[in-house]
């Protein structure tokens, strides 16, 4: 049931055209209906990618990540993965519906990092060290199931 509901909710986001990446562009804040859960190592947190925020470039995948604790606290960040070098960069963090730009640079995605969700995202969104070909492919990779587009 949950998979069918997620598929229906994400159909519009998966079909929407992917705009060319602009380094300074930030998406609207994530909506609950657009969140796709990402399987990550057990940490007491649940991780979601905003399907509507997925952006694909020549070597980069951008997305909004929502990290949610069991108590309901959330951390929201707009990030990018550079596929060829397996690096991640936080472009902005979300606070009260607004983005606050980050000044941090690219950093390696490390196997021994506590931030294991980046390993999962890199594996799923950058197969063969290249970005997936479409938003639909990204959603299927993240969800591990085909999304029915209507």
Segment 122-138, tens digit of pLDDT: 999 999 999 999 999 99
* Banded pLDDT at 144 (limits 50, 70, 90): low
* Banded pLDDT at 12 (limits 50, 70, 90): very low
* Exposed e or buried b per residue across 12-51, where buried means at least 16 C-beta atoms within 10 angstroms of its C-beta: ebbeeeeeeeeeeebbebbeeebbbebebeeeeebbbbbb
Segment 71-126, tens digit of pLDDT: 989 999 999 999 999 999 999 999 988 999 998 999 999 988 778 889 999 999 99
The percentage of residues in the chain with a pLDDT greater than 70, rounded to a whole number, is 78
Cβ(90)–Cβ(137) below 8 Å:
no
> How many CB atoms neighbour CB 91 within 10 A?
18
**Biggest alpha carbon distance in the chain?**
41
Tell me what pLDDT residue 129 has.
95
Segment 42-81, tens digit of pLDDT: 678 899 999 999 999 999 999 999 999 989 899 999 999 9
Give the domain ranges of the chain: 2-143
Tell me what pLDDT residue 22 has.
57
Tell me what pLDDT residue 145 has.
53
């Amino acid at each position: 049931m949950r998979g069918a509901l997620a598929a229906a909710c994400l159909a519009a986001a998966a079909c929407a055209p992917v705009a060319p990446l602009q380094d300074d562009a930030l998406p609207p804040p994530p909506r609950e209906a657009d969140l796709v859960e990402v399987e990550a190592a057990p940490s007491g947190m649940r991780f979601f990618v905003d399907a509507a925020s997925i952006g694909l470039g020549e070597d980069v995948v951008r997305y909004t990540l929502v990290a949610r604790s069991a108590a309901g606290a959330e951390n929201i960040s707009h990030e990018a993965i550079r596929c060829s070098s397996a690096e991640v960069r936080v472009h902005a963090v979300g606070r009260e519906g607004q983005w606050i730009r980050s000044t941090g640079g690219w950093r390696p995605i490390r196997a021994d990092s506590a931030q294991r969700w980046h390993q999962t995202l890199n594996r799923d969104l950058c197969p063969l060290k290249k970005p997936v070909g479409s938003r639909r492919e990204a959603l299927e990779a993240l969800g591990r199931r085909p999304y029915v587009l209507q």
